[in-house]
Chains A and B, each alone.
Chain A
């Protein structure tokens, strides 16, 4: 038993430390950018999974990221707030807006919920385009300052002028987010989310306030989208209304589904593989989208539970083959 715990700590320790070491071996702005995108996508896909855990398919993540990005940007640029406070408020505002629109939204189920969340993303984009006095419309906002340096006099002075430090920052955000998401999933609330996912009428008859908890799941998931959106605008130092549109949102959904929404590790794997893969496939040039689509089709047809379902599937296939062979012999 003790040995198992040791292995567990060791493997998670390595998994946690490893991403921090990558920039020591591979450098360059291009690689760093891809790494940052990967980490962002992991946060997004994992937080989307929390909403999915309560039986809802949300496509509001793009809109929530836009809200987060503009909130953090405007607070820093127009009000001169600290970038850290702005980042937190970005997440909170996304959560609050999700909470408010959530109440009418969660009355809809399945695909209908997904459709209104698409509208939400589209509406946020439109608002950012049209509210020119605040957002400067389609021009977007440029020269957004990078996150404020973390200074403890005499001990610590971390600036975020280099992309590598931004990578470290987003990595820390990811770790904190994943720990929070994991804790929520394994709490009583998480158990209730699952109950709602499997049968919301039954959950209701047990006494669960299903509407309220669905809104809660939606709101928590959107909080992380808001934070990620805010971070991205600070890292890229620019934001435009259509940076995180419908297509971007669909990609997050694909990361989650391909990785497998059944297990916590699923969206992490999905986001990792599907962010890195297209970059590796760059030499294929114009055929790259075909390749990407091909991978998607393969996963959907061969692995309905996503990549995380693969070991189990291989086991059953191997078992079947073994049995056939035995029967032949």
Chain B
């Protein structure tokens, strides 16, 4: 479904991502794992069209998307839940969810999806009139995901959703990701937290200083000593 071919991204002169190739088959949950500054977020930004490619190519459903505008890419169904549960903090939960469906014109479908989001996250319904900034960390992450779902994604990309969340909430997050995946949405997960990755995804790419150093089945990779030392401590 999504293919990154030999993608390189440069900020000024520094290379953040060097010749990365990633493949995300339809219906899967693929993870990209790496330490701080490895270039994980840059990969997602490049897919979303938020940073230009220096070289390489990105393909979504057979279509080249690396020259498209951000809103066109979102319209295709490639939606990002950005890092640090970024929300519109002074807006209500409801307004945040509505803005997630910004590009959609089908009112009825939007209402149905809103119901779906509230069914997935009942807490959000209870707090729909509260300011997003006043939610707890876990609720904010759920709102960020809910907002992403409102865009009716085919591919949902999540940038470190487990960051700063309590283990219990991470369990809930893992369930949520599985539920989302079962509803037919392909998930690309970028993480530092190996425990979330092992629980939800099938295939995993390990990134170090902008390069893919290892890739393969999650179970096999986690058996690898070097990976375990790096990400499980």
**Chain A positions near chain B (C-beta within 8 angstroms):** 191-192, 194-195, 198-199, 201-209
Contact = CB atoms under 8 A, between A and B. Distances in A.
Contacts of A195: 88, 91, 99
A133 B74 CA distance: 52
B95 interface: yes
Q: Is the interface of A mostly helix, strand, loop or mixed?
A: helix
Contacts of B87: 202
B50 A192 contact: no
Contact of A208 (B50, B86, B89, B102): B102
A205 B151 contact: no
Contact of B103 (A191, A199, A201, A207): A207
A202 B86 contact: yes
B89 A198 contact: yes
Given A191-B98, A195-B99, A205 B82 contact: yes
Contact of A205 (B70, B89, B90, B91): B70
Contact of B74 (A198, A202, A206): A206
Given A206-B100, A208-B102, A198 B91 contact: yes
A205 to B, nearest CB: 6
B71 A208 contact: yes
Given A191-B95, A202-B82, A207 B88 contact: no
B203 interface: no
Given A192-B102, A194-B88, A195-B88, A204 B70 contact: yes
Given A195-B88, A204-B71, A205-B50, 16 more contacts: A191-B91, A191-B99, A194-B90, A194-B91, A195-B99, A199-B86, A201-B50, A202-B82, A204-B70, A205-B48, A205-B80, A205-B82, A206-B99, A206-B100, A206-B151, A208-B71
Contacts of A192: 99, 102
